[in-house]
């Protein structure tokens, strides 16, 4: 059975098993993946990274976080 952990600004991390429930949420997280898909509770299947509702690969996410950090200095 697939389960998802979804990060929302309003509720923090929320667990759900309904794939369709994920998409209406605003995804955004600066300290890790916005969505983590699990199979059988322990095995991570996929992760999604979002900043300001834009999807990033892990490498591009890391680069964007670095840019944001440098801009704050």
Answer yes or no: pTM beyond 0.75.
Answer: no
Do the Cβ atoms of 34 and 49 come closer than 8 Å?
yes
Give pLDDT, residue 58: 94
- Quick: pLDDT tens for 40-59: 767 888 888 998 888 999 99
71 CB-near residues (< 8 Å, 6+ apart): none
Tokens of 4: 């998802």
């Amino acid at each position: 059975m697939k389960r998802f952990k979804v990060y929302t600004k309003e509720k923090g991390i929320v667990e759900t098993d309904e794939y369709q429930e994920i998409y209406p949420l605003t995804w955004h997280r600066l300290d890790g993946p916005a969505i983590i898909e699990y199979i059988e509770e322990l095995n991570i299947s996929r992760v999604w990274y979002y900043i300001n509702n834009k999807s990033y690969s892990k490498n591009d996410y890391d680069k964007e976080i670095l840019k944001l950090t440098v801009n704050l200095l």
